[in-house]
């Protein structure tokens, strides 16, 4: 018995050495505490192994998530638990949590969050992105302005297709702030090329403070807007948020009345843009009115 007890310290030293070699720092850190519990009869051998492996796996999973969030440009972490659904009663909470199950990602669908500024569109888009990262899916977050700027630079450098392939890699691409800033000339066409490349191949989340009927104005070309919506609404979930700004909730009384009233106006219902002159859209059979369902 004494020989067996004498062998325990050297065995623990070998385990430490092996944990270092296997690059398992969290298991190494927890080893002494687990061994003490073993000696006191608080754990079985199998329970001790389970604890060490679970500790290490948790560390690695947290590290993976942290890296994936950084690579996906999800620097500001938002969660569904941190969203105040009571402030936006127009939202169907169950519908949002159904989206969080990520079936739309597997089906390569587009999710649209529409509503006035400050109503939680970016928060919800980011929160769904975080859920996707936790589930092991690749995610990339960008604003429309940054996205088009990146595509335009790549086009000037002769690397447009390479950049489009880069934006096609993530399982979920989040495009925030559609309609907030003017789109540069030719930007709508560049965005269409990316949307067309991802169509039925990758999921997207898009947020906008402008109704679909205004996208011709947003992109400066009704034909391009119609072609975009042809693809973005074919397999889509549209969530319209009606309400006032969450960010301004504590200072609403300081805003002029005409500004407050505008903040409560939801985006206009989707209607077809005016028929443009020139070449018709690529898919003339697409009916804008058919998307209302």
Whether the per-residue pLDDT at 237 is higher than 60: the answer is: yes
Long-range contacts at 269-278 (CB < 8 A, ≥ 24 apart): 269/211, 269/213, 270/211, 270/212, 270/213, 271/212, 271/213, 272/213, 272/226, 273/213, 273/215, 273/216, 273/222, 273/225, 273/226, 274/216, 274/222, 275/222, 276/216, 276/221, 276/222, 276/223, 278/223
Q: What is the pLDDT of residue 270?
A: 44
pLDDT in tens, 147-196: 999 999 999 999 999 999 999 999 999 999 999 998 999 999 999 999 99
Domain ranges of the chain: 2-70, 93-292
**pLDDT (mean) for 10-27:** 93
Predicted confidence (pLDDT) at residue 292 exceeds the cutoff of 60: no
Superfamily of domain 93-292 in CATH is P-loop containing nucleotide triphosphate hydrolases (3.40.50.300)
What is the model's pLDDT at position 29? Answer: 95
pLDDT in tens, 116-154: 998 999 999 999 999 999 999 999 999 999 999 999 999
pLDDT reading at 239 higher than 50:
yes
């Amino acid at each position: 018995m004494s020989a067996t007890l004498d062998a325990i310290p050297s065995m623990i030293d070998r385990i430490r050495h092996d944990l270092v070699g296997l690059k398992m720092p969290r298991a190494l850190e927890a080893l002494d505490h687990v061994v003490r519990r073993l000696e006191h009869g608080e754990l079985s051998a199998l329970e001790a192994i389970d604890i060490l492996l679970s500790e290490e796996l948790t560390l690695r999973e947290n590290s993976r998530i942290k890296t994936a969030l950084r690579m996906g440009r999800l620097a500001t972490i938002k969660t569904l638990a941190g969203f105040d659904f009571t402030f936006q009663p127009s939202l169907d909470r169950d519908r949002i949590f159904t989206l969080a199950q990520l079936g739309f990602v597997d089906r390569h669908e587009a999710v649209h969050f529409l509503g006035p500024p400050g109503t939680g569109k970016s928060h919800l888009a980011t929160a769904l992105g975080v859920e996707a990262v936790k589930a092991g899916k690749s995610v990339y977050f960008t604003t429309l302005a940054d996205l088009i700027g990146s595509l335009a630079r790549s086009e000037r450098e002769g690397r447009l297709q390479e950049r489009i392939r880069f934006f096609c890699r993530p399982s979920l691409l989040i495009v925030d702030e559609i309609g907030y800033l003017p789109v540069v000339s030719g930007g709508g066409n560049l965005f269409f090329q990316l949307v067309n490349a991802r169509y039925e191949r990758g999921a997207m989340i898009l947020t906008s403070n402008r109704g679909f009927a205004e996208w011709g104005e947003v992109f400066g070309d009704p034909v391009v807007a119609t072609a975009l919506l042809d693809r973005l609404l074919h397999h889509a979930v549209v969530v319209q948020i009606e309400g006032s700004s969450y960010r301004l909730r504590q200072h609403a009384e300081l805003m002029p009345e005409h500004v407050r009233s505008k903040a409560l106006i939801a985006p206009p219902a989707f209607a077809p843009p005016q028929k443009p002159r020139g070449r018709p859209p690529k898919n003339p059979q697409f009916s804008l009115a058919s998307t209302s369902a």
